[in-house]
Every structure is written in structure tokens, then in C-alpha cells.
Amino acid sequence: MTKATVVAGEGAIVPSPAVSPKRTKVWDPVVRLFHWTLVLGIVANLTVFRELKVVHRYVGYVIVAAIAIRLIWGFVGPKHARFSDFVAGPRRLSGYLKAMIQRREPRYIGHNPAGGLMMMALILLSLFCGVTGWMMGLDAFWGAPWLEAVHETAANSIMALAILHVLAALVESWRHRENLVMSMVTGWKRAASGTDIDHASPPR
């Protein structure tokens, strides 16, 4: 029988190091495709397609469609893809941030609370940016300077959050000795052990 360890305060059960497999599949194809579609679409629209209005608009439509699929997937997808796995309440989020400042934050198999907050912020802000971009093409808002300013501010905010997200991923990769960028390419991560937290682990 497989031994297990209960992580205090998290209600999660993870395999013990002695019997835990070396790797576990965390990110399914839908999550990974969404992630890189969002990355490439945002970077392209903020750089090479910024002044190419028609291409910029259609890339925006692709991003919004990807977000719509991801929102649905957040309720019906595999456990690590669901919002219930990584959207943390204020208490858990503040506890994680405090532990992170003290450099003793636990390793999460899925998104950690800070990463979950960043993920939701990027999704919602990208959706808002897409909606304002669509509104700019309507007769009622054509040429409205306030809407253009809102859209531009949202786009710049996305880029700022994306840079912060990349830096945080690099720091976490170094702290936990794990290549998080590659895990979003392959879907695999190091399996839970010790004090690692995996909310998708089946209860025992």
C-alpha cells in the first residue's frame, strides 16, 4: 500500500518520497495550448502587429476565443486545470506570500496561490483588452479617444504583469530546482514529495 503524508493546513495528501514516482503529468494539452496561444498572441499584438490593424484585430479574436475555452475548461477540465485547484482565498494567499517573503514557501504541483492570482489577472485583463478592442471597431465608439486610452492602458498592464510573471517563474524555478517553463511545454513536473502540496491528490 502506498504511504501518504497529510500537509498541515492544506488538506492535501501527497505520496511519501520513498514511493513517489519521479514525474507526474500536471498540465494537459488544452492548458498548454492556451498558455502559449496567449503568450504568442499578446507578444505579437504588442510588437510586430501593433500597427497592423486588421491582423491585430484577428489575433485579438483568437486570444478572446482561447480565453473563452479556458474559462470553460476551468470548470470541466482535469483537476489541475480547474479554478478550484489554484484560486486561493485571502487567508491562503496571504499565508503563501508571507512564507515566500521568509523564503520557506512550499512547492505546489499545480499553480501556487500567487501564480493562481496572476493567472486570473492575466486572463481577465486580456479578456477586457479584447472587448475594448472589439468596441473600438463599432460605429458607436469609432475614434473615441477615451476608449483607445483604456485599451492601450490595458495592453500595457498585460505586458507589465507578463514580465512579472516570467520573473516569478524564473525565481520559483531556481528556488525549487525545477524548470517551470519546460513543464508548460511538456506538461510534466517533478512528483510531489515531502511538504509539497498537491490539491489534486485523491483523498485517502
User: Quick one: 167 exposed, middle or buried, by C-beta within 10 A (0-12, 13-18, 19+)?
Assistant: exposed
Q: Which residues of 69-100 are buried (b: 16+ CB within 10 A; e: fewer)?
A: ebeebbeebebbbbbebbbbeeeebebbeeeb
Q: What is the pLDDT of residues 3-17, one digit of tens each?
A: 444 444 454 545 444
Domain boundaries, the chain: 30-190
- The set of residues, in sequence order, having a beta carbon less than 8 Å from that of 159 and lying 6+ positions away, is 42, 46
Q: What is the pLDDT of residues 74-93, one digit of tens each?
A: 999 999 999 999 998 899 99
pLDDT given for residue 13 in this prediction: 47
- Range with top average pLDDT, 17-26, 70-79, 140-149, 175-184: 70-79
Percent of the chain past pLDDT 90, that is, above it, reads 62
- Asked if 146 and 122 touch (Cβ cutoff 8 Å), the reply is no
Q: What is the pLDDT of residues 117-158, one digit of tens each?
A: 999 999 999 999 999 999 988 888 887 899 999 999 999 999
CATH code assigned to 30-190:
1.20.950
As a whole number of angstroms, the distance between CA 74 and CA 84 comes to: 8
67: left (phi over 0), alpha (psi -120 to 50) or beta: alpha
